[in-house]
Amino acid sequence: KQIMDQEGWHSAIVVTSPYHVRRAAKSFRSLGIKAFGVEAFSPTQYPLVTHFGVIVHEYIAWLNWWLKYTLQNLSRGFVNAIH
């Protein structure tokens, strides 16, 4: 974000794995960056177990990101309410 602000950039194209693209773009947007997620090529020859593991990992990562983001915003609101 700091580099983007210094350069005057307001949007970004986020290129990552198909499993991760939504969360990555959302992370950029949470910083106030207009982000567009693009899926990078991902081999489809992975075994089904690998796909399942990656999907489970992404759902856990989404939950973790959401909790962290929500708790940060709640604590900011709490601190602002005290002052």
For 32-69, the pLDDT digits (tens) are: 999 999 988 766 656 666 777 777 888 888 888 888 88
At residue 46, the pLDDT reads 62
Mean of all residue pLDDT scores within the chain:
81
The CA dihedral of 12, 14, 15, 21, to the nearest 10 degrees, is: -160
* pTM of the predicted model as reported, rounded to 2 decimal places: 0.56
> What is the C-alpha to C-alpha distance for residues 76 and 82, in angstroms, rounded to an integer?
10
Helix then strand then coil, in percent of the chain rounded to 5, is 60, 15, 25
Q: What is the DSSP letter of 8?
A: T
> What is the C-alpha to C-alpha distance for residues 78 and 70, in angstroms, rounded to an integer?
12
